[in-house]
Structure 1
Amino acid sequence: MLRFLTSTAALALVALPAIAQPANLQPTRDVTVTYRVNGAAATGGAPGAAAAPQEMRMAFSASTGKQRMDPPGGIGWMLIDRRANTAVMVMDAQRATMAMPPATAAAMTQGVPAGATFTRKGTATVAGTSCVEWDVAVAQGRGTSCITEDGVLLRATTTPPNGTPTTVMEATQVSYGQVDPARLSIPTGYTAMQMPGGAPGAPAGAPPAR
């Protein structure tokens, strides 16, 4: 789950500022989006992984800059704070949280990747919503993303070197309207966990005894 959350969040958040210039760099109003995620992307490309598309949900608050991402499986979710440059994985079943390392959080909240170039292609309609398509090139490869004029990512397609373009994620439903602040807050009483390999003596992969 962690690999999927971090890679997908980086795609949705890092790509957005890079390709939206000079338009909005992030959504300008509260929005909730349901995405269909390519099966290989959802499993991190693991050998033998099921290729069936899966569902991911995203909610963004324009007033706070906080974003929630619920990946397939329902075993946890990610709370990303673009203004504080933080990202926290929340596991409700364990009533626990795990803060992402600064470098991982930065990959989800940073602006334009160094050396990124983009070219406007035209317009499209995804999930009944108009968006502008951009070709993007970065050191790791290139891709195409469709972004609304108010900064919502609706579709992302990647093209690896000498590879075939693959749609990584595509919106199936877009809903504008205030996001419940409770959905963008960590519940009280949750235990903070250490990342595996963290501080000496810290539990790796499980909350400390309570």
Structure 2
Amino acid sequence: MTSRFLPIFRRGYEAGARRRAGAGLLLLAMSTAPGFAATPRLLPDRDASAIYQVSQPGKPEQTWRIRFDAAAGLVRATSLSGTPMPMTALLDLHSGRAQLVLPQMHALVNVPGLSGAMGQVMAMRGAHFTPLGTATIAGYRCTRYLVLRRNASGTACLTPDGFALAASGSDPHGRVSVQALSLHIGPQPAGDFEPPMGYSEVTLPPQMLASLLGQ
């Protein structure tokens, strides 16, 4: 990574230090919306591409294109709007491996802390789900749930095959809402889930990652 990018990361670190550590990781974990609830499925059982809108109070709305490889448990999340810079997140939901692809910096940023955040969200230990009825979102029917757990609460609308079409929740870190704008079920290009060749791998503190994600 060339020296002209160092001031960007320095400013990002200073800004992120003033925010709650891990807020950006929580947002990214919730952007992989299938893991938000323990019922009826943890993960989608079919390949798909979806566009999600992510909202937080006082923050610009973000839009992400999410692609799922169901058999391999892989997710590709590409920012479309609302983030400080374009980026793509590559997630392995089985191993917890996570990387951010930053084209402008020709960098591949390892996110070691995301596996733990993903595990907590996906496990939802101690959560209680109360059905609230059904809804149609992005052209698909889903069951709405009230989700309660210690120090956190929210709602989720889940399809029987593991897609979360909407999720909203709050905890001591703040509040975040995610809603699907579109969902297209079908095979996805396998190469899209691989990191690009020739990028430099770096690891950043959670505060910097939060700043990159606009948290």
Change (3 A) 1:191 1:172: same
| % identical aligned pairs | 28
1:182 corresponds to which of 191, 197, 201: 191
Asked if the contact 2:48/2:187 (under 8 Å) is kept, the reply is yes
Which residue in 1 is equivalent to 2:30? 11
| Alignment partners' CA distance in 2, 1:134 and 1:19 | 9
1:83: Cα distance to partner? Answer: 1.4
SS at match of 2:117: helix
TM-score normalised by structure 2 residue count: 0.74
| Alignment partners' CA distance in 2, 1:193 and 1:79 | 15
Asked if the contact 2:30/2:36 (under 8 Å) is kept, the reply is no
Change (3 A) 1:179 1:193: same
1:25: Cα distance to partner? Answer: 1.4
Which residue in 2 is equivalent to 1:66? 74
Asked if the contact 1:24/1:149 (under 8 Å) is kept, the reply is yes
Q: Unaligned regions of 5+ residues in structure 1, if any?
A: 198-204, 206-210
| Alignment partners' CA distance in 1, 2:119 and 2:76 | 13
| Alignment partners' CA distance in 2, 1:116 and 1:167 | 18
SS at match of 2:77: strand
1:8: Cα distance to partner? Answer: 2.2
Is 1:138 equivalent to 2:149 in the alignment?
yes
1:140: Cα distance to partner? Answer: 2.8
Which residue in 2 is equivalent to 1:97? 108
Which gives a bigger RCO, structure 1 or 2 (Cα 8 Å, sep 6+)? 2
Number of residue pairs aligned between Structure 1 and Structure 2: 183
Asked if the contact 1:5/1:78 (under 8 Å) is kept, the reply is no
Q: Unaligned regions of 5+ residues in structure 2, if any?
A: 1-11, 17-21
1:106: Cα distance to partner? Answer: 2.1
Which residue in 1 is equivalent to 2:52? 35
| Alignment partners' CA distance in 1, 2:192 and 2:119 | 19
1:185: Cα distance to partner? Answer: 0.8
Is 1:57 equivalent to 2:65 in the alignment?
yes
- Read off the aligned partner of 2:201 and give its amino acid letter: A
Runs ≥4 residues deviating over 3 A? 1-5, 15-18
Asked if the contact 2:47/2:185 (under 8 Å) is kept, the reply is yes
Is 1:26 equivalent to 2:43 in the alignment?
yes
TM-score normalised by structure 1 residue count: 0.75
Asked if the contact 1:18/1:113 (under 8 Å) is kept, the reply is yes
SS at match of 1:10: helix
| Alignment partners' CA distance in 1, 2:179 and 2:24 | 16
1:31: Cα distance to partner? Answer: 0.8
- Read off the aligned partner of 2:76 and give its amino acid letter: R
Asked if the contact 2:34/2:44 (under 8 Å) is kept, the reply is no
| Cα offsets for 1:152-207 (capped at 9, x unmatched) | 1110122568x9xx77121111111111112111011111112149xxxxxxx9xx
